[in-house]
Chains A and B, each alone.
Chain A
Amino acid sequence: MSKLAENVSRIRSKNAGPFWITIDIFCGSTEVYKDVCKRLNNSEVADLLKIQGQDLKRFDIEKLNVIKFSFPRKIPQGDILDRDMHGAQMAVLLSEINL
């Protein structure tokens, strides 16, 4: 078992407008990309983010060796309950996922 961040070259997250968060996993090579694509499970990611499975959009982008997740944020950007307006710390959650 190893953490996702130890396998890939970079993981980042960011708000995409006030109502969405998007997470990009840059795998760095075709080999790692194929391996991570296989082992990264959507329902596990949805559970980690505490969102409904159907709200999680996944894009496997072979050309760039990137896996991208996007989902509507439960608390919009700048709402009084929002803790991280740019959502950029959310990438940490995926970084620490066990593969």
Chain B
Amino acid sequence: MICSTVLVPSGVLGLGFDLKALENGLKRKPNIISIDGGSTDSGPHSLGSNTSKYSRAAIKSEWKILMQAREASNIPLLIGSCGTCGTDSMVDWMEDITIELAKELKQSIKIAKLYCEQDKNFIKMSFKNHKVLPLEPSLKLDIDIIQDMKHIVALAGAEQIQECIKTGADIILAGRATDTALISALPLMNGADPGGSWHGAKIAECGALCSNNPTSGVVLVEFDQTGFTVEAMSDKALCTIETVAAHMLYENADPFILFEPGGYMDVTNASYTIQEKGKVRVEGANWIKSDRYNVKLEGAKIVGYQSTLLVLLRDRHYVENSKTWIRNLSNFLESQIQEKMALDSSSYSLEFRLIGVNAVLGELEISSGNPVEVGVLCIVTSKTDTISTEIAKLINPFLLHYPLTDNEELPTFAFPYSPVHSDRGCVYEFALNHTLELNNPMEVFRIKISEV
């Protein structure tokens, strides 16, 4: 007997989905529409700067379709990790969009918001009390580093999402949450097999990426007491044993184990069968509950301010000797910066990447070729935006004219635009790879209800 049917429109709001596939999915009478709204995949900037990676226009346009689908089907609509990073103000940002749409669509709705952002003082206290525990690979952490963080979020699990569902809200806007908890919460609440609930959630977390047509987006998962079945909703997409099983490997360091708040899932003994064409049946995953309830933390802190410059080499002599050229140039610039700005090389970072040579792999590159041209990307990072801009301006003329040897004509390379330097502003880094031990799942999470 099916305990819960979950419709997943796509791997993330903002990426798009097939409208016909969504329509097909709604006809199957799901109990909830669940979608992810974030990730750390685009780096620390979203969390550090408290901004969404996707445009508001893209989010609003897709959210409108999902709000209409919810209204027509009269089922809850759930999004997690609002605004990419899932901070409190990104939950409010998503609420703004929701209220705006509710007015445009003339909908009356109850909204539950789950806040996941953490107070620095509480994290410091927890750290002192040995409640903040390192994950592998361990990062250095102390009170000062915690103080330096711009934002810290805790990843909600199924329990916190279930508390939101229990409020009877039409729309749930969750802060940072695990991708899987958004899908597993309802089936777990309704008595589905715990191992199957988490496994099905992991398979469906990226939408139709578990099918042979990833861009179609929409998948439907039916959860029951022994496992789950998954199928893609587009007429042009099929789930096969290979596409489904392969998704367990995706973005997972361990292909069998997935840690979640309150325990871990083990799929070592999972079996996959074709129930009918395009519909894969999965059973056999285990959920192992842990003694303690830990949630994962994410934090971002400022590393500095960045300016970049790009110069293009087309002259064959320089293209062939680009590595020597930047080595010489780098040493020369270091002395210029020391001389003119009285800055020691330890107080800033000046990096050159040779596009066309080894910009992607750096020291790992094993192939070489004869590029027609080489792009030289210079990345300046320092403590302030003023210093980074000054360094960028200081090195500008040398990037344009620096010769390989003293006794050759002064070269002039290609600058592709004006101004040559781009100020990238503040740059951040991930500063936590830790969990936080809780006394109860709601200890550091808050729910607020609003009606419109």
Which positions in A face B, CB cutoff 8 Å? Answer: 14-20, 22, 24, 26, 48-50, 57, 59, 61, 63-64, 66, 68, 70, 72, 76-86, 89-90, 92-93, 96
Contact = CB atoms under 8 A, between A and B. Distances in A.
Nearest to B248: A64
**Main DSSP-derived SS at the B contact region:** loop
Interface residues of B, number: 42
Given A76-B429, A83-B359, A83-B360, A15 B251 contact: yes
B254 A49 contact: no
Question: By CB atoms of chain A within 10 A, which of B42, B137, B428 has the most?
Answer: B137
Contact of B306 (A20, A22, A63, A80): A80
A65 B47 CA distance: 38
B123 to A, nearest CB: 18
Contacts of B306: 80
Interface of B: 40-45, 135-137, 139, 242, 245-246, 249-256, 303-304, 306, 349, 351, 353, 359-364, 366-367, 379, 381, 427-430, 433
B173 to A, nearest CB: 24
B362 A78 contact: no
Nearest to A63: B245
A20 B255 CA distance: 13
A78 B44 contact: yes
B152 to A, nearest CB: 14
B253 A16 contact: yes
The 7 closest A-B pairs by CB, nearest first: A78-B43, A72-B137, A70-B253, A16-B253, A20-B253, A18-B430, A78-B44
B37 to A, nearest CB: 18
B245 A64 contact: yes
A48 B366 contact: yes
5 contacts: A17-B40, A19-B433, A22-B251, A49-B364, A80-B427
Contact of A68 (B43, B249, B364): B249
Given A78-B429, A89-B361, A16 B251 contact: yes
A93 B361 contact: yes
Question: By CB atoms of chain B within 10 A, which of A14, A20, A24, A80 has the most?
Answer: A80
Given A16-B253, A89-B361, A79 B429 contact: yes
Given A50-B363, A84-B360, A22 B253 contact: yes
A66 B41 CA distance: 24
A80 B349 contact: yes
